[in-house]
Amino acid sequence: MPITYLSTRGGETGLRFEQVVLGGLAKDKGLYIPESIPKMSIKEIEMMRSMTYSQLAYKVICQFVDSSDIPSENLKDIVNRSFSKFRHDDVTPTIKKDNYWVLELFHGPTFAFKDVALQFLGNIFEYFLEKGNIQNKITILGATSGDTGSAAIHGLRGKKNVNCFILYPTGKVTTIQEKQMTSILDENVQCISLPTDFDGCQAIVKSAFADEDFRNEVKLGAINSINWARVLAQITYYFYSWLRATDAMDPNHIPKLSFVVPTGNFGDILAGYYAKQMGLPVDKLVVATNTNDVLHRFLESGSYRKDPSIVTIAPSMDISVSSNFERYLFYLAGNATTLKRWMDEFESTGVLKVNDTILKKAKEDFSSSSCNEKQIIDTMVEEYQRQSYWVCPHTATAVYAIEKLNLSAPTTICLATAHPAKFEQAVRMTMSRVGVTELPKRPDPLEQLFSMSTRSTTLRASLPSVQAFMRRTMEPSLHRMENALSFVGGSIGADVGAWFDENPTYSWLSTFATLSVLGYFMMSHIQLKNR
């Protein structure tokens, strides 16, 4: 029997891995999940103890990918290449601390856990596009509040047949995050700065996907965490860290371990749920949220309610709903018909209420805690004072949960999702309290960003302006002019051009505007030199 997938809302069944990865979101607006979850016995898990990270990753991933989709030798090659750019031999090392094990997920190119999934996804895209069974090119359009964009760009840079456009809100990502994106000068990558906030960027992405003609014309694809391949890649580090944390234990008496996971869109922790369903001896999966606590409230009360998101010091978890939660709700509902009814209700009222039996079932797998700004900073301070270990503000929500829920040290693994150097503002807030006067030295690759050339284009925050830029960029002759413009005239010039793009009738005027601005800047330059 081949390995197949279905949509959580039941509109599509019997899909292949390739369709699911290239499709991103199901046509009925559901999310793709495997039709059945493969199982591993404890003996099979033990047999993976001596494997390297990449060997183990292949062993886990191949259970979800039919060999007729990707033959095993190709899949092994994809997996090996995906983790070759990590700076640690263990890829995601598991380290013993005083009061927990920490699974450090920030040793990839952009110092955040998303590298694990996006390095893999980039290679998978390239493989399927080269085969060309379904399509032979893809245009990725994503919005970012900082971290996803850089991880996506690093996963997709230089990939054949892939164009990547990342929208970010001007002035609302950290300097390091912006440099991580804009210092990538590969032809197939474009960073677009928009004078709006993250929701404004996200709204443009959504409208671009809703524009069916445009979607088909450029073969639009998504890299956000609803893509199944991202969840799949993340399952592996649950197995790997479980094995590392139990290496020194008596093999006949290994207890179940709990994983504490900083959570926003429920993607990372969902991978832990699949690991548990596959047979990994897991006790609790602990949802650790910041004040955006929609998941914590659900696990407390059985009511899943969309509230406006709040800006916090752990910004990558600032969400109002968790886009991957639907996958878990499918398992709670037990079938696609019930799930669809739940989602319809949620989409029309903004609330979903489950009964006590269902809530009890959820509590068998998950527990939760939420953490406010003060608690995040206090936890960062305490961790540094206790064991000279800086945690990023997202990881701090998980460390806080360990204390709050009184989890036991030898059997608890805390996921550290980003390097603290990416969130210097939060680290700065702790410095006076821990008696440190200077920021900790940045890792070399982050320091080097400050002397690298960068490229970014500022556009008006509107769909026509973004669409026009994407079309121009993918049309080589126009692209050269655009590059010249951003080089000489920077954001002002691009913005003028984009203004005209918003009305396609006047598209030739945009070319004229581009040349005028170019000329203007050249003239000013000459005048300045002659003074």
Ligand X SMILES: Cc1ncc(COP(=O)(O)O)c(C=O)c1O
Residues that bind ligand X (CB under 6 A): 112, 147, 225, 262-268, 316-317, 394, 417-418
Contact 54, 89 (CB under 8 A): no
Which residues of 144-256 form beta strands (DSSP E)? 162-169, 189-194, 220-221
* Smaller CB separation from ligand X, 263 or 412: 263
Q: Minimum distance between the CB of residue 323 and ligand X, rounded to whole angstroms?
A: 8
Q: Minimum distance between the CB of residue 317 and ligand X, rounded to whole angstroms?
A: 5
Contact 192, 163 (CB under 8 A): no
Q: Minimum distance between the CB of residue 265 and ligand X, rounded to whole angstroms?
A: 3
21-29: Cβ within 8 A, 24+ apart: 21/121, 21/124, 21/125, 21/128, 21/227, 21/228, 21/229, 22/125, 22/128, 22/134, 22/135, 22/138, 22/221, 24/221, 24/222, 24/224, 24/226, 24/227, 25/209, 25/222, 25/226, 28/340, 29/343
Q: Minimum distance between the CB of residue 151 and ligand X, rounded to whole angstroms?
A: 8
CA–CA gap between residue 60 and residue 54 (Å, rounded): 10
How long a stretch of residues is the chain?
531
Q: Minimum distance between the CB of residue 315 and ligand X, rounded to whole angstroms?
A: 8
* Smaller CB separation from ligand X, 45 or 377: 377
22 Cα distance to chain centroid: 17
| Burial (CB count within 10 angstroms: exposed 0-12, middle 13-18, buried 19+), residue 10 | middle
Q: Minimum distance between the CB of residue 321 and ligand X, rounded to whole angstroms?
A: 11
| Burial (CB count within 10 angstroms: exposed 0-12, middle 13-18, buried 19+), residue 415 | buried
Q: Minimum distance between the CB of residue 368 and ligand X, rounded to whole angstroms?
A: 12
Q: Minimum distance between the CB of residue 191 and ligand X, rounded to whole angstroms?
A: 18
Q: Which of 38, 37, 40 is nearest to 280 (CA)?
A: 40
What is the sign, positive or negative, of the torsion defined by CA atoms of 249, 253, 254, 255?
negative
* Smaller CB separation from ligand X, 265 or 375: 265
* Three-state SS letters, 468-528: HHHHHHHCHHHHHHHHHHHHHHHHHHHHHHHHHHCCHHHHHHHHHHHHHHHHHHHHHHHHH
- List active site positions: 114
* Smaller CB separation from ligand X, 142 or 262: 262
* Smaller CB separation from ligand X, 139 or 145: 145
* Smaller CB separation from ligand X, 202 or 263: 263
Half-sphere exposure of 476 (CA within 13 A, CB side): 1
* Smaller CB separation from ligand X, 110 or 473: 110
CA–CA gap between residue 85 and residue 53 (Å, rounded): 13
Contact 9, 23 (CB under 8 A): no
CA–CA gap between residue 282 and residue 325 (Å, rounded): 19
* Smaller CB separation from ligand X, 114 or 460: 114
Q: Which of 233, 125, 132 is nearest to 188 (CA)?
A: 125
